[in-house]
Every structure is written in C-alpha cells, then in structure tokens.
C-alpha cells in the first residue's frame, strides 16, 4: 500500500496567516478572518495583539453552543464579498458570506481537488470524442468542485439538501461565466438510491459528506452509519471505465486510510489512486490538516 500524501493548494486570494490555540487567522481576498479551528491544538506563533490588529471579522460561539455563534465586524468589513481561483486557466469566482456556523461558503484546501477534477474531466472528454462526461457532485455546498468540473466541460448534476446553498452555488456559477449545471435540492442517499433503480450512470462522482446532517425533509445523515451504503450506491452508478471518484472526509478521527479502505471495498481496482490529507501551511510554517481525501480514476 502506498503511503498517504499531503496536498498543499496555493492561490492568490487565500492565505493562512497563523493558527493555534484552536483558532485560525486567514485572509480571503482583502479581508482577514479569525475563527475557531479544532485541529489547531498547538500555540499561536503571532501575538494576541497582532491577531487583534489584523482581524476584520471575529467569530465567537454562543454560550452553550459548539456550532452557532456570531461575527464581530470592523467598520470596513462587508458581510459579502468575492474571491477568485485560477483552476488550470479557468477563472472560478465565488461569493463569500459570514454564516452563523462560522463558515464562509468556501473550503480553500479543496482547491487541490478542484485541479484534479478539472484535469480528469478534460482527460475523459478527450477520450469521449465530444461527449460531455457526466459528473455528480453530492453534498455539493457552494459548488467549487461543480465549477471546476463544468469549466472543464462536464455535464454536472449538483446536489445539496439546503435550497439557500444551492442558490448560492448558482450565483457562483453565473459569477464564473458558466452555465448549464443541473441543480437538485434533495437528500443525497435517497437520490442515489433512486439513481440505482433508474440505471443511471456517471463518469465522475464527488462526495463531500458531513459528519452529521439533515435532508430537506428531515432525513438524518450520520457518516459512520450511512457512508457504506452511499458508497455502494455510488459504485453501482459509476461507469466501470473512463470514470473517477473523489471522497472527502472532515470528521475528526477519520483517516485517509479508512477512506481508501471503504472505497476499495465496493469499487473495482482503479488505474490510479491517491489518498491522504488536505493541508494548509501558515506564514510561520506550521502545517494545519483540514480533511482527508481519497480519489481514483478507472
């Protein structure tokens, strides 16, 4: 078995300035945010004074809550703004916003997967003699992976359980000068079960499931309980040749080896595969792991 890899995406509109004491200080475009980061368990490198001076927006959790909170903004800080990412020459423009769950609508470490998705779709398109590869993006959030696949020429189905997030993704598509994405608000597991019955096939599947979640009709998602069935369904609707799969896991305590083993259990032997951690390096050279990945090509 190969050893896990560490991937470090780099882009102009994002910078991890410092991290530690379970927080991170990061720049998105012109603005610097300070928010909780459970994996930054070491000490900060910069002083508290420098953190306070740099931050344009600071997230604080509500009393008694592990998730919800509020942002304190400097006078110059907007509640919405845009950043861009150059994905193999394709300009992806995405709107950011300050949510009550500390998220801003973008996970910058995922840029490493966006490049892979863009490259792989291009490769599949060349083999298919003009037919657009069909890509399914599940738990698709605000659509960075969707934009990368569409920019490379894929016929993309984008699914998320939250209508407002799907609308946000649509806005990102338009801002990036793209069109033609199929938008679906649904529970991911229920959707792929139906796709299996319909006999649908895809050339690419992207999975970015949360640890816990709810579908639009209150369907309960628990990663450890549901991931095996989800992967089995995805294996049934993925083309056996000229196809790819990307799996991301953010739950603390889950490893890249676990992601690889779960996928290998239900998928055929791939032509090539990678697994490891998505990381960012701060300006003081500390490496912050931000999720695990498994990706493969058939």
Q: What is the pLDDT at residue 204?
A: 98
Q: What's the rounded Cα separation, in Å, for the pair 195 and 156?
A: 15
Q: What is the pLDDT at residue 192?
A: 97
- Is the pLDDT at 252 greater than 80? The verdict is no
Q: What is the pLDDT at residue 1?
A: 58
112-153 pLDDT, tens digit per residue, is: 999 999 999 999 999 887 789 999 999 999 999 999 999 999
Alpha-carbon torsion, ordered 292, 226, 238, 240, to 10 deg:
80
Please name each of the domains of the chain with its CATH number: 8-80 (2.60.40.1180), 107-297 (3.40.50.150)
Q: What is the pLDDT at residue 274?
A: 96
Q: What's the rounded Cα separation, in Å, for the pair 186 and 142?
A: 15
Q: What is the pLDDT at residue 244?
A: 98
Q: What is the pLDDT at residue 243?
A: 97
Mean pLDDT of 14-37: 98
Q: What is the pLDDT at residue 111?
A: 97
Mean pLDDT of 100-109: 95
Q: What is the pLDDT at residue 6?
A: 96
Closest listed residue to residue 113, CA positions, set 185, 207, 203: 207
Q: What is the pTM of this model?
A: 0.95
Neighbour count for residue 94 (Cβ, 10 Å): 24
Question: Residue 257: which pLDDT band, with cuts at 50, 70 and 90?
Answer: very high
The CB-based long-range contact list for 128-136 (8 Å cut-off, 24+ gap) reads 128/203, 128/242, 133/203, 133/204, 133/242, 134/201, 134/202, 134/203, 134/204, 135/202, 135/203, 135/204, 135/205, 135/206, 136/195, 136/202, 136/204, 136/205, 136/206, 136/237
Question: Residue 93: which pLDDT band, with cuts at 50, 70 and 90?
Answer: very high
189-248 pLDDT, tens digit per residue, is: 999 999 999 999 999 999 999 887 888 888 888 888 899 999 999 999 999 999 999 999
63-74 pLDDT, tens digit per residue, is: 877 788 999 999
Q: What's the rounded Cα separation, in Å, for the pair 257 and 163?
A: 33
Mean pLDDT of 35-44: 96
**Strand 204-207 relative to strand 134-138: parallel, antiparallel, unpaired?**
parallel
Across the chain, mean pLDDT equals: 95
3-state secondary structure of 81: strand
SS3 content of the chain, % helix, strand, coil (to 5): 30, 35, 35
Mean pLDDT of 6-26: 97
Q: What's the rounded Cα separation, in Å, for the pair 55 and 20?
A: 15
178-191 pLDDT, tens digit per residue, is: 999 999 999 999 99
Higher-pLDDT residue of 250 and 171 is 171
276-297 pLDDT, tens digit per residue, is: 999 999 999 999 999 999 999 9
């Amino acid at each position: 078995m190969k050893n896990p890899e560490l991937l470090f995406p780099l882009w102009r509109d994002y910078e991890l300035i410092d991290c530690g004491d379970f927080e991170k200080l990061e720049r998105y475009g012109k603005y610097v945010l300070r928010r909780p980061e459970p994996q930054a368990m070491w000490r900060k490198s910069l002083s508290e004074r420098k953190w306070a001076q740099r931050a344009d927006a600071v997230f604080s959790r509500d009393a008694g809550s592990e998730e919800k909170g509020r942002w304190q903004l400097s006078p110059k800080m907007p509640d919405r703004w845009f950043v861009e990412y150059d994905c193999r020459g394709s300009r992806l423009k995405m709107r950011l916003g300050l949510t009550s769950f500390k998220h801003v609508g973008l996970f910058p470490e995922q840029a490493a997967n966006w490049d892979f998705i863009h490259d792989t779709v291009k490769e599949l398109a060349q083999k298919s003699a003009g037919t657009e590869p069909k890509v399914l993006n599940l738990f698709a959030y605000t659509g960075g992976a969707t934009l990368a696949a569409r920019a490379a020429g894929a016929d993309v189905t984008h699914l998320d359980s939250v209508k407002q997030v799907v609308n946000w993704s649509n806005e990102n598509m338009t801002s990036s000068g793209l069109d033609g994405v199929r938008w679906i608000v649904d529970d991911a597991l229920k959707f792929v079960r139906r796709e299996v019955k319909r006999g649908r096939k895809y050339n690419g599947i992207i999975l970015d499931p949360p640890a816990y979640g709810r579908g639009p009709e209150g369907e309960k998602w628990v990663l450890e309980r549901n991931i095996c069935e989800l992967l089995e369904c995805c294996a049934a609707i993925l083309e056996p040749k000229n196809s790819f799969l990307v799996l991301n896991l953010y739950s603390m305590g889950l490893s890249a080896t676990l992601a690889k083993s779960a996928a290998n259990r239900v998928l055929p032997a791939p032509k090539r595969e990678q697994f490891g951690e998505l990381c960012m390096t701060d300006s003081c050279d500390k490496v912050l792991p931000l999720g695990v990945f498994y990706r493969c090509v058939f």
